[in-house]
Amino acid sequence: MNTGKRRPGRPPALSEEKRRERILAAAEGVFSEVGYGAASMEEIARRSQMSKKTVYQLFPDKEAIFTTLIFNYEDTPQRNLKAGMDFRTSLSTSLLEMATFTFSPRQVAMTRLVISEARHSPELAQRFYENCLQRVNDLLVGHLTGPGADHPLKTLDIPLVADMLFGATIGALHLRVLVKGLEPEFIQKELETRIQLVIDLILGPR
């Protein structure tokens, strides 16, 4: 008699995308705990509950996994000016978004990891710099040169201006967070103060 109940069997197979996501999540945990150098494909496979064969089918080595993690960011700030905002407000908002990205727990953990491994794996550090830190600076350059960017610094070296602007508002705090950590409430208040001061220096007080 058919009761309509399904017989127990194997769980549905994961799609390749889901397997990749599980492997990347496991690898990020392994890298954060033991460092890139000490991490192994065997441990990543164990944490992801995948066979080593499956892991190697999707990623040839741990460098490929780490590189994918570096490029797997969905919360990077956007380049465009914020619709309906004047340049001052838009720049302030964008700097706060860049800070949110820079100070996110995942970004801080990855930055610490890359710094600790930079001497032994300089190519990984270079990729991380280009895709994360340099990307944020490039976005700021785009903001300072895009439509509606009305400020007295247009005739200067804009990449250098962007680098100095990022350093003055975010860079020093970033170093302190990496070394000893700071409370989120303190970071937010300090950022708002720094951003307001720097923008006033550039554009003049309201």
What pLDDT is attached to residue 135? 81
What pLDDT is attached to residue 22? 94
What pLDDT is attached to residue 74? 55
Report the range of poorest mean pLDDT among 44-48, 49-53, 94-98, 189-193.
Answer: 94-98
What pLDDT is attached to residue 82? 53
Is the model's pLDDT at 79 over the cut of 70? no
Q: Quick one: tokens of 188?
A: 């937010």
What pLDDT is attached to residue 41? 95
Asked if residue 77 is part of any domain, the answer here is no
Residues 92 and 191 in one domain: yes
Residues 63 and 133 in one domain: no
Confidence of residue 55 (pLDDT cuts 50, 70, 90): very high
What pLDDT is attached to residue 196? 93
Residues 189 and 121 in one domain: yes
Burial of 22 (0-12, 13-18, 19+ CB in 10 A): middle
Asked if residue 168 is part of any domain, the answer here is yes
Is the model's pLDDT at 39 over the cut of 80? yes
* DSSP track, 34-79: H-TTT--HHHHHHHHT--HHHHHHH-SSHHHHHHHHHH--S-PPPS
Which CATH number belongs to the domain containing residue 24 in this structure? 1.10.10.60
Helix (H) or strand (E) holding 192: helix 184-203
Question: What average pLDDT does the structure give for the chain?
Answer: 84
In angstroms, the CA 16 to CA 57 distance is 10
pTM here?
0.74
Mean pLDDT for the stretch of residues 98-111? 86
Residues 66 and 121 in one domain: no
Helix (H) or strand (E) holding 106: helix 105-117
Range of the structural domain that residue 62 is part of: 16-71
Asked if residue 10 is part of any domain, the answer here is no
Asked if residue 1 is part of any domain, the answer here is no
49: left (phi > 0), else alpha (psi -120 to 50), else beta? left
What pLDDT is attached to residue 203? 83
Residues 92 and 52 in one domain: no
Q: Quick one: tokens of 127?
A: 């990729």
Residues 66 and 91 in one domain: no
What pLDDT is attached to residue 8? 52
Q: What is the pLDDT of residues 9-25, one digit of tens each?
A: 444 578 888 999 999 99
Mean pLDDT for the stretch of residues 101-125? 85
Q: What is the pLDDT of residues 161-190, one digit of tens each?
A: 999 999 999 998 999 999 988 898 999 999
